[in-house]
A and B are shown apart, each in its own frame.
Chain A
Amino acid sequence: MPTMPFAEAAAAWWVWPLALFCLTFFLGIVAVIAGVGGGVLFVPIVASFFPFHLDYVRGAGLVLALTGTLAASPALLRSGLANLRLVLPLALVGSVCSLAGAVIGFALPVAVVQTALGVIIVAVAVLITLARGADGIAGVDPARFDWRSRRGVLGIASFGGIGFVGGLFGLGAGWANVPALNLLMGLPLKVAVGTSGLAISLINSSAAWVYIGRGALLPAVAMPSILGVMLGSRIGARLLHSMSSEAVRRIVIAVLALAGARALLRGVGIWP
């Protein structure tokens, strides 16, 4: 039986999309268990260890976060865990800034975007490590807890910054939305998570058009990623109660730190 040499197999077009599907399937599982968005893991890992240009990775990451939140939002809206009225002013500012971030991302040299991505991802790893204290009100039922959002102007401003970063790097930005809604605006954690998902679906939609118009949405990169994360998150949701979320969280933080450092070193040319 003739065997395909490894180099020839690696050059075949389907090898990398298949590897991408396997990776994103795993990321989908891990993201649910660790309570982080798939996009924030996807962009640094794929940008660092796959041969795709950063443009397609950012485009796929953005659509990946968008599709995940689109699928979850109807249930979140009906349960009251996402609040459309609260999201509208936040998403409006976030959408404009996300659009600006995406346009600027295409204007900047790729090494600058890669370096900045590395810095952001390392900062996200630190933020996730420090955010442990926010779990204190996780058990509160938002339907019975009379909450009221506060610091609206600061909240809107923070969504502007978060939207810009999300559009620039193709990240879902739940890692920043949730602390902004929970710690800054005072929403119960569950409502913050649900509302963040709804906000991402609106904010990422504006930046997605930039990536589509610029030809940065390559179906061979985007579609296996979307399907992999979707299937993986379903498995992750089933495994949620049988696995130690703290252990998975530590792995995610380590992977983020590694991928962030790799992106940073690649951006400055030390580890091309």
Chain B
Amino acid sequence: MKPRHGMKHDAQEIYARWLEAGSKLAFAFALATLLLYLAGALPPLVPLAELPRLWTLSAAEMMREAHAPGGWSWLHYLRYGDYLNVLGISLFALLALICTARVVPAFWRSGERMQALLALLQVLVLLAAALHLFPGAH
């Protein structure tokens, strides 16, 4: 692949701009939710004192013992400090999906059809991952 020195990287610049704004927001949100969690401002679903016993168990065992939600069910538990913190961490995983989706029309408009198609396929893979639409998701 030939580099595009001297050209204005529109899609690349858009990706950088959205990623920069998104990662700052995600870091701020994750830090705020961590402080709420640690300060006990929101009660955790899994009591903090129980953690040293539970984190020695596998994720599947811990979810059974703590009656913790799997898949996207944890969205119903955002009133708990630990799951609000999971939302903060999830925003990091969401950023690539949002930024890649944003550059699909930018590539298409600039006539880079192959790049638009690759970006679209990347969005579909990330979307399938986020929605757990793949074998062995649960």
Contacts and interface: CB of A to CB of B under 8 A. Distances in A.
B62 interface: yes
Interface string A217-241: 1111111001100000000000000
Interface string B80-117: 00100110011011111100100100000000100100
Contacts of A149: 1
A11 B56 CA distance: 12
25 contacts: A13-B51, A59-B59, A73-B19, A75-B16, A95-B122, A103-B134, A146-B5, A149-B1, A152-B1, A202-B100, A205-B92, A205-B94, A205-B96, A205-B129, A206-B129, A208-B93, A212-B90, A215-B63, A217-B89, A219-B85, A219-B86, A219-B89, A220-B51, A220-B55, A222-B89
| SS of A interface (majority) | helix
A49 to B, nearest CB: 14
Interface string A66-95: 110011011101101001111011011001
Contact of A148 (B1, B9, B27, B138): B1
Given A206-B129, A223-B30, A89 B118 contact: yes
B129 A84 contact: no
Interface of A: 11-14, 16, 51-53, 55-56, 59, 63, 66-67, 70-71, 73-75, 77-78, 80, 83-86, 88-89, 91-92, 95-96, 99, 103-104, 106-107, 110, 143, 146-149, 152, 201-202, 205-210, 212-223, 226-227
A202 B27 CA distance: 17
Interface in B119-133: 119, 121-122, 125-126, 129-130, 132
Contact of B1 (A14, A85, A201, A207): A85
Interface of B: 1-5, 9, 11-13, 15-17, 19-20, 23, 26-27, 30-31, 34, 37, 48-52, 55-60, 62-63, 68-72, 82, 85-86, 89-90, 92-97, 100, 103, 112, 115, 118-119, 121-122, 125-126, 129-130, 132, 134-138
Contact of B136 (A16, A52, A83, A103): A103
Contacts of B20: 74
